[in-house]
Chains A and B, each alone.
Chain A
């Protein structure tokens, strides 16, 4: 099972769409894509749409925690979009659901930015 990451510029900043299973095998792909985003200057907001992610493990969670820490260092805002029930369960299990800003839809996530 592969993971696909599509990154695009939007008015508010950068939108990253992730789909597939994010596990020990595929999380380096997500991490590399995030690394490319952090190399760019002047990005104010990073939105990560997880609606296409069916499965995430601790390495995927670690990748997102690293992204959150990088965003904080760079003064960027990180918002996660549309967690499937299985992905949301993992966030709950890791007690991270209240640590991230999580939105139901892309429209909700860009509102007020």
Chain B
């Protein structure tokens, strides 16, 4: 039996310390992968911003600023979907409280969730692991996201 080559996603993983200085490393590693996946430069920037925000949230909320932990970023480029998975072993979020805020209310903070929802079609927090959270961000490649 021959596997459908187009359905096999290529995966790249990167493990970075939970220090904000490594956000730049994640962005730099991701950019060529996202562009090679076929996204426009503008969409690639939105996707990278969203992943950067997700990593920042892990550092701030899951690890409470502890810079000695790790974040594992796995990127899967499939024919139909582009997926970014972020794994931490920190405090689990209360998923019921995570929602984009009203952008009409001009105030500092709270934009990260909005950026993630803008760049990706699915944002899923798996908190049923022994430790930490697996955040899965999925962007469909077969339709244009507004």
| A interacts with B | yes
- Show the binding face of A for B, using Cβ within 8 Å: 1, 21, 23-25, 55, 57-59, 61-63, 65-66, 69, 85-86, 89-90, 93-96, 99
Residue of B nearest to A67 (CB): B108
> For residue A61, which residues in chain B have a CB less than 8 angstroms away from its CB?
108, 111
Contact A65 B49, CB 8 Å, known A24-B20, A93-B115 = no
B56→A86 contact, CB < 8 A: no
Residue of B nearest to A94 (CB): B111
16 A-B pairs, CB-CB below 8 angstroms? A21-B24, A23-B24, A25-B23, A55-B27, A57-B52, A57-B56, A58-B109, A58-B110, A62-B109, A63-B108, A90-B49, A93-B46, A93-B49, A93-B115, A94-B114, A95-B103
**Given the complex of chains A and B, what is the CA–CA distance between A65 and B104 in angstroms?**
13
- Show the binding face of B for A, using Cβ within 8 Å: 19-21, 23-24, 27, 42, 45-46, 49, 52-53, 56, 59-60, 103-104, 106-112, 114-115, 118
B20→A58 contact, CB < 8 A: no
**Given the complex of chains A and B, what is the CA–CA distance between A69 and B106 in angstroms?**
10
> For residue A95, which residues in chain B have a CB less than 8 angstroms away from its CB?
103-104
Q: Does more than half of chain A's interface fall in helix, strand or loop, or is it mixed?
A: helix
Given A61-B111, A62-B111; 16 other pairs, CB 8 A cutoff: A21-B24, A23-B56, A24-B23, A24-B59, A25-B21, A57-B53, A57-B56, A58-B109, A63-B108, A65-B106, A89-B46, A90-B49, A93-B115, A93-B118, A94-B114, A96-B106
> For residue B106, which residues in chain A have a CB less than 8 angstroms away from its CB?
65, 96, 99
Closest-CB distance, A57 to chain B (whole angstroms): 5
> For residue B115, which residues in chain A have a CB less than 8 angstroms away from its CB?
58, 93-94
> For residue B108, which residues in chain A have a CB less than 8 angstroms away from its CB?
61-63, 65-66, 69
**Given the complex of chains A and B, what is the CA–CA distance between A96 and B107 in angstroms?**
10
Residue of B nearest to A100 (CB): B106
Closest-CB distance, A38 to chain B (whole angstroms): 15
B42→A25 contact, CB < 8 A: no
Within the complex, which residue of B24, B110, B112 is in contact with A25, where a contact is CB–CB below 8 Å?
A: B24
Residue of A nearest to B113 (CB): A58
B23→A23 contact, CB < 8 A: yes
**Given the complex of chains A and B, what is the CA–CA distance between A61 and B60 in angstroms?**
17
Closest-CB distance, A86 to chain B (whole angstroms): 5
Residue of B nearest to A62 (CB): B108
Query: Which of A23, A55, A65, A66 has the most chain B CB within a 10 Å cutoff?
Result: A23
Residue of B nearest to A96 (CB): B106
